[in-house]
Amino acid sequence: MIFQIYSFLRAAHTLTVGGVMNTAVALSQSEQVGVHKSVIVGNTLSIKAGDVIELQCGASTLRMDSSGKITLIGTEFKFEASGPVQITGKDIDLN
């Protein structure tokens, strides 16, 4: 049997869990937020995907795939560090 539950709230909704909360979804889950979403984690935030993680914001994209390839696309790159910057690779092409 498949059950569908729909909820529509016109105001606010708060859920407080005093201990552990787990959610398991068999096939697919999506979330859409109209204006602002904030995630606050006390220590560690872990995100794992089987194939691809992609973050997009306007003309910027960060894409990581399961083969280890990381693609960073943007109109400008700014790197700042208070200490040494190390770039290691088989071949490094600066131009």
Distance between CA atoms of 27 and 84, rounded to whole angstroms?
Answer: 45
Per the prediction, the chain carries an average pLDDT of 93
User: What are the residue ranges spanned by the domains of the chain?
Assistant: 47-73
Q: What is d(CA 10, CA 37) in angstroms, rounded to the nearest whole number?
A: 18
Please report which confidence band the pLDDT of residue 4 belongs to, taking 50, 70 and 90 as the band edges.
confident
CA distances from 7 to 4, 10, 13, 22 (A): 10, 10, 11, 20
Nearest residue to 62 (alpha-carbon basis) of 73, 52, 51: 73
- The C-alpha angle with vertex 33 and arms to 35 and 30, in degrees rounded to 5, equals 160
- Mean pLDDT over 18-46 rounds to 95
Assess whether pLDDT exceeds 90 at residue 55: yes
C-alpha span between 72 and 60 (Å, rounded) = 8
Q: Is the pLDDT of residue 17 over 90?
A: yes
